Structure 1
Amino acid sequence: MTYCVGLCLQDGLVLLSDTRTNAGPDNIASFPKMHVAAPGDRVIAIMTSGNLAVTQAVVARVMEGSGVGPGEPFDTLFTVKSMYEAAELIAGALTKICSSITGSGAFFDASIIVAGQIAGRRMRMFQIYSAGNFIESSPDTPFFQIGETKYGKPILDRVAHYDTPLEDAVKLALISMDSTLRSNFSVGLPMDLLVYRRDTQTVAVQERISEDNAYFRSIRDRWSDALRAAYRDLPAPPWMRS
């Protein structure tokens, strides 16, 4: 399993993904689930969840053009002209690969978040499903999650807003990830963080965060302490008072 979260905010993007793959308790490994195209005129990042063979094939197709027939014209994330075209490109690759697997009698699920901006175009973020359909984030719904989403969702529902500053959004993403790490064995460190500031076409932050990262350790410890303090400060239920 995996956990990825993306926030598309007034000031830019915050994307965070774990790296664990789990094919059973004796087969655990780490693979990057965030892939970035940043040639100078654009920053486009994709985060993947689901069957690793499917998502790796999709990434190879949209980043390199792998699997395209000889002489067949094709686009990649380096050549599409808009973020909508990027979403269509990924959706088409995902549908084709999943259909070929389903046709052989097997079924594998996958989902992808793509976010970014091309010079002269709007910054956008989409969540893409195996069926090839996709939805776009909005100021009313500024974050998407894929993978093991339930543990990290409550903090986002309570605090994440379109005008949340990027620095605060990084804290929210890390708290959301930490909640998932604590509750689900199939999500694991290290994790990949990307921050993009609107209209810059450059990556502001791209960081691999491991267990020994001092800032992440501070965030998880202080958040745990704050939760325990808030719990202790809650009033006792009136029907329990003697």
Structure 2
Amino acid sequence: MTYCVGLRLDRGLVFAADTRTNAGLDNIATFKKLRVFEKKGDRVIVVLSAGNLAITQAVISLLEEKIREQANERPTIMTVDTMFQVARLVGEAVREVRDIDGDALTASSESFSVSMILGGQIGNERPRLFQIYSAGNFIEASDDTPFFQIGEHKYGKPILDRVTRADMSLGDAAKLVLISFDSTLRSNLSVGMPIDLLLYNTDTLEVLRQTRIEQDDPYFHRLSTGWSDALRDAFSKMEPFDV
């Protein structure tokens, strides 16, 4: 399983993804699930992926392959003019992989499982955020729904629902996202560190703030401990139930 989050805010975008994959309790591996496509001064595109690892890797590889086909004048995610068109191309790549592998997966009693969060900015267009489904269709983040989660999202969703605001700073948004990861890590062993984190400031058209949060990261440790202490303190101060 996995956990990925993308937020669209007034000041930019925040992305985070864990790196754990497993095929059983004794077969745990680490794979990067956050992919960046960047042309400085022109576009920044970020893709987070969850689901069957072979499928997600095939989709990303197909997108990369199309970018490298210089002789072919077909549009790619590095040449189209809007993020909506990028979302269409990613969805087409998902469907193309389904056409190739879908029947074989069905014959093996496995589902075609893939979901993606896509975000970024092209030129003067405002930053945009999309969630792409296994069918290749997608929805876009809005003022009412400013964030998307994929994978094991239920443990981290309550804090995002309560705290996310469009006008918050990217630093506060990153703190919020990491708290949502801390809640998920405590409740689900299929999500694991390290965590890849990327903050994108509107109109920079360049990735300037990207890091990997390791298991022994001192800031994450302080954040986790402080959040637990704050919850216990708030709980102790609330009026007790009295029948």
Establish whether residue 113 from structure 1 lines up as the match of residue 117 from structure 2: yes
CA distance in 2, matches of 1:212, 1:237: 39
Aligned-partner residue type, residue 223 of structure 2 = I
Aligned partner letter, 1:96: E
Q: Which amino acid aligns with 1:44?
A: I
Q: Please state whether the residue corresponding to 1:104 is helix, strand or coil.
A: helix
Q: Determine the structure 1 residue equivalent to 2:16.
A: 16
1:46-195 maps to which residues of 2 (within 5 A)?
46-65=47-66, 73-106=73-106, 107-195=111-199
Which string of whole-angstrom CA distances, capped at 9 and with x for unpartnered residues, describes residues 11-40 of structure 1? 000100000001111211000000001221
Q: Percent of pairs identical after alignment?
A: 52
Q: Is the 8 A contact 1:42 1:202 kept in 2?
A: yes
State the distance in 2 between where 1:13 and 1:186 align: 26
Distance in 1 (alpha carbons) for counterparts of 2:194 and 2:62? 25
What's the TM-score once normalised by structure 2's chain length? 0.93
1:126-171 CA-to-partner distances (Å, cap 9, x unmatched) read 0000111100001111000000010000000111122222111011
1:156–1:176 CA contact under 8 A, matched in 2 = yes
Question: What code does the residue aligned with 2:46 have?
Answer: A
Taking the aligned partners of 1:229 and 1:121, their CA distance within structure 2 comes to 44
* Alignment partners' CA distance in 1, 2:200 and 2:67: 27
Q: Counterpart of 1:214?
A: 218
Partner of 1:38: 38
Q: Which 5+ residue runs of structure 2 have no aligned equivalent?
A: none
SS at match of 1:37: strand
Report the 3-state secondary structure (helix = DSSP H, G, I; strand = E; otherwise coil) of the residue aligned with 2:25.
Answer: coil
CA distance in 1, matches of 2:206, 2:39: 9
Report if the CA contact (8 A) 1:5-1:143 is conserved: yes
Tell me if structure 2 keeps the 8 A contact 1:61–1:76: no
Unaligned runs of 5+ in 1: none
1:28: which partner in 2? Answer: 28
Structure 2 residue identity aligned to 1:11: R
Distance 2:80 2:32 in 1: 23
1:105–1:213: structure 2 CA closer, same or farther, 3 Å change rule?
Answer: closer
> How many matched pairs?
238
Partner of 2:227: 223
Paired residue type of 1:138: S
| Aligned residues of 2:11 and 2:169 also touching (Cα < 8 A) | yes
Q: 1:178 to 1:123 in 2, by over 3 A?
A: same
Q: TM-score, normalised by structure 1?
A: 0.93
